């Protein structure tokens, strides 16, 4: 399920996001009983999505969470479209906006990436809000500002910095999506990961007995990787407490992030992409 942001009235949505004078509301408007406001409705929407998922989100569901009718919400939030924008931007405020760069920009970015990964797993519905059209709210911009401050002084030219930031955001988001879907798979299907893999691994051996001959490079890689995983797990006291696929997802995330940061580090050291080496502007 993909939800596109910005589907409501543009002026009203932006006014609500930025709490401008044009956001309207119920000031002096008879109808809903006191105690209801935009912030309360948004918090309830987040609670519904956290507990039941994006598919369960509706104005009626949020109203029921608050003990109100859906109609009572419309004075404050025009529709579900605006509500999704507000929820997405509000929940981003959980993320830190300050990181210590005393140990270098890499350590700061790694800390930001870890925090963002954990955030997505707390609120997996956020991953269903498409980034094709950003929300353009203060929470979203605060996160961008945070990463720009970390990377802004490393010596790369602005366009390169912007593209590095895009890679980082999409990498963290993409890897977190896989991890979140793994967590959701068993409850959604009623079949554990262990059961699913056991059945299909046995069937694969049955229907493709020549698998290793047909895919020798893959078979060799999997054989060596599996042996390495067993050795690593034997040395981890908490390995049994974390499902295998969750450990694999987090390890892939860590390794992928290191590779991205290695590339950025090399660009900084070599001067590739620095202002002094940037292509001249077109006349």
Least confident stretch, 108-122, 186-200, 264-278: 264-278
Alpha-carbon gap, residue 262 to 249, rounded angstroms: 20
For residue 85 the two structure tokens come to 């924008």
In this structure, what token pair is assigned to residue 177?
């999506």
- Among candidates 157, 162, 133, which has minimal Cα distance to 147? 162
pLDDT of residue 27: 45
Report the alpha-carbon distance of residue 265 to residue 283 in Å, rounded: 31
* pLDDT confidence band for 282 (50 / 70 / 90): very low
pLDDT-based confidence at residue 274 (cuts at 50, 70, 90): low
Spatial distance between the Cα atoms of 174 and 160, rounded to a whole number of angstroms: 21
Give CA–CA dist 193/186, Å, rounded. Answer: 7
Terminal Cα-to-Cα distance of the chain (whole angstroms): 45
The answer, yes or no, to whether residue 245 has pLDDT greater than 50, is: yes
- In whole angstroms, give the CA distance from residue 24 to residue 158: 38
Q: How many CB atoms lie within 10 A of CB 202?
A: 10
Q: Give the confidence band of 283 by pLDDT, cuts at 50, 70, 90.
A: very low
Whole-number percent of the chain with pLDDT over 90: 75
Phi first, then psi: give them for residue 203, nearest 5 degrees. -70, -35
pLDDT in tens, 73-128: 999 999 999 999 999 999 999 999 999 999 999 999 999 999 999 999 999 999 99
What per-residue confidence (pLDDT) applies to 20?
Answer: 79
Q: Which pLDDT belongs to residue 237?
A: 46
pLDDT tens, position by position, 38-70: 999 999 999 999 999 999 999 999 999 999 999
Query: Which residue, among 6, 12, 88, has the nearest Cα to 46 in the 3D structure?
Result: 88
So what's the pLDDT on residue 273? Answer: 65
Averaged pLDDT, 191-198: 93
**Percentage with pLDDT > 70 across the chain:** 86
SS3 at position 77: coil
What's residue 25's pLDDT?
Answer: 53
pLDDT in tens, 8-33: 899 999 999 998 765 555 444 455 45
What value does the mean pLDDT of the chain take? 88
pLDDT interval class at 226 (50, 70, 90) = confident
| Assigned token pair, 170 | 């999409």
């Amino acid at each position: 399920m993909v939800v596109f942001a910005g589907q409501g009235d543009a002026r009203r949505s932006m006014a609500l996001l930025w709490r401008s004078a044009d956001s309207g509301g119920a000031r002096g408007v008879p109808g809903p009983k006191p105690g209801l406001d935009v912030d309360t409705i948004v918090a309830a929407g987040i609670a519904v999505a956290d507990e039941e998922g994006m598919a369960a989100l509706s104005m009626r569901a949020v109203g029921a969470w608050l003990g109100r009718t859906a109609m009572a919400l419309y004075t404050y939030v025009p529709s579900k479209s605006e509500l999704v924008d507000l929820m997405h931007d509000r929940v981003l405020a959980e993320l830190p906006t300050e990181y210590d760069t005393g140990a270098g920009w890499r350590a700061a970015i790694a800390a930001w990436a870890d925090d963002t990964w954990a955030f997505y797993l707390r609120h997996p519905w956020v991953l269903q809000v498409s980034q094709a059209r950003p929300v353009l709210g203060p929470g979203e911009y605060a996160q961008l500002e945070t990463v720009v401050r970390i990377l802004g002084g490393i010596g790369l030219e602005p366009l390169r910095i912007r593209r590095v930031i895009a890679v980082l955001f999409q990498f963290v988001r993409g890897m977190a999506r896989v991890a979140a879907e793994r967590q959701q798979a068993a409850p959604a299907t009623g079949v554990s990961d262990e059961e699913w893999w056991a059945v299909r691994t046995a069937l694969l051996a049955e229907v493709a007995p020549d698998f290793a001959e047909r895919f020798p490079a893959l078979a060799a890689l999997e054989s060596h990787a599996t042996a390495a995983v067993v050795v690593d797990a034997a040395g981890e006291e908490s390995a049994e407490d974390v499902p295998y696929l969750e450990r694999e997802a987090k390890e892939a995330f860590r390794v992928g992030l290191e590779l991205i940061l290695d590339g950025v580090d090399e660009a900084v050291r070599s001067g590739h992409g620095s202002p002094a080496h940037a292509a001249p502007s077109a006349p």
